[in-house]
Amino acid sequence: MTYENLLEMLQNRRSIRYFQDKPIDKEVLEKILASAVLAPSVANTQPWHFHVLDNAELKAKMMECSCYGNFVTGAATFVVVTCDKAAKAATQSTIWNPREMEYSCAIAIHCMMLAATALDIGSCWVSLHHGPSHNLLKLPDHHVVIGGLMLGYLKEAEKMPSGEHERKPLTESVTYYA
Ligand SMILES: Cc1cc2nc3c(=O)[nH]c(=O)nc-3n(C[C@H](O)[C@H](O)[C@H](O)COP(=O)(O)O)c2cc1C
């Protein structure tokens, strides 16, 4: 892997909200999920759980729980990621910011997005209202909903890498301390 390969993948990834009407092959989905668990996590707690929604009715109900996602039913698969706040670290003596378990789950979502890009699958993170999505999946209290990820095969028109990303100039986002 070279930096150029990585840069190309990062540039090719963009949020895709409309997909082909075609289910994702099981092996492809498993590759995406296997990539998620390679994410780093605080004290290697691996606090993530992936709820894979293929069922149209359940996807429609989950769409009702989205903050801005009235296109969720168009995803072949919608993966809701939750954080198990009761996940245990190998070393109990470690003290860390409890939010870091949630950050770890966010990294896992990013790993899925990158794997999807490499596999020519479009993806888009969709924010979910915590209470309704938690209730819909009948989650235990120690699970926190992190977000949902739409996945689906790219439409022909989306296959061209856009290369364009609306980003602030780096100078606005970075401060160097001498
Ligand atoms: C934490 C997070 C929440 C997001 N929530 C939504 C959402 O609810 N609906 C949506 O359409 N896009 C959502 N997005 C996608 C962003 O709008 C998108 O990443 C951003 O506009 C930059 O575009 P790009 O992903 O194509 O580079 C979310 C992204 C992140 C990281």
Distance 56 CA to ligand 1 centre (A): 22
The answer to whether the pTM exceeds 0.75 is yes
> Residue 103 domain-assigned?
yes
> Residue 64 domain-assigned?
yes
> Residue 132 domain-assigned?
yes
Q: Which residues line ligand 1 at a C-beta cut-off of 6 Å?
A: 14-15, 17, 67-69, 124-127, 147, 165
CATH at residue 88: 3.40.109.10
Contacts with 129 (C-beta within 8 Å, 6 or more apart), sequence order: 65, 66, 67
Give the span between the Cα atoms of 12 and 17, in whole angstroms.
Answer: 15
Give the span between the Cα atoms of 149 and 126, in whole angstroms.
Answer: 6
* Ligand 1 pocket: which of 64, 124, 133, 164 to mutate (most atoms within 8 A of CB): 124
Number of domains in the chain: 1
> Residue 178 domain-assigned?
no
pLDDT tens digits, 32-52: 999 999 999 998 999 999 999
> Residue 163 domain-assigned?
no
Residue 94, token pair as written in the block: 């470690």
Give the span between the Cα atoms of 162 and 170, in whole angstroms.
Answer: 20
> Residue 148 domain-assigned?
yes
Distance 99 CA to ligand 1 centre (A): 21
pLDDT tens digits, 3-25: 999 999 999 999 999 999 999 99
Task: State the residue range of the domain holding 104.
Answer: 26-155
> Residue 19 domain-assigned?
no
